[in-house]
Amino acid sequence: MKTDDDGAMVNGTDASNAADAADDVAAIRSGLESELVVHDERVVFQGDDESQFTVIQADVSVKGRPQDVNGDGVVDVAEGVRTHPILFAQVRGGQPSAVCVAVRSDGRLLLARHWRIATDSFEWEFPRSMGEPGEVVSRTAERELETEAGLASSSRRLLQLIHADTCKIRGSVAVVEVRVDDAQLAEVERAQARLGEDGDSRLAWMDVDEIDDMIASGSIMDGITLAAYTIWKAQAA
| Size (the chain), residues | 237
For helices 208-216 and 223-236, the axis angle rounded to 10 degrees is: 140
Which part of the chain has CATH 3.90.79.10? Answer: 94-236
Q: pLDDT tens across 30-84, in order?
A: 445 677 888 889 999 999 999 999 999 999 988 766 554 455 556 554 556 788 9
Q: pLDDT tens across 85-116, in order?
A: 999 999 999 999 999 999 999 999 999 999 99
The class level of CATH for 94-236 reads: alpha beta
Cα distance between residue 37 and residue 44, in whole Å = 20
Cα distance between residue 196 and residue 19, in whole Å = 56
**Which residue type occupies 168?**
K
- pTM tops 0.95, yes or no: no
Residue 41, φ and ψ in degrees, nearest 5: -135, 140
What is the enclosing helix (H) or strand (E) of 13? helix 12-30
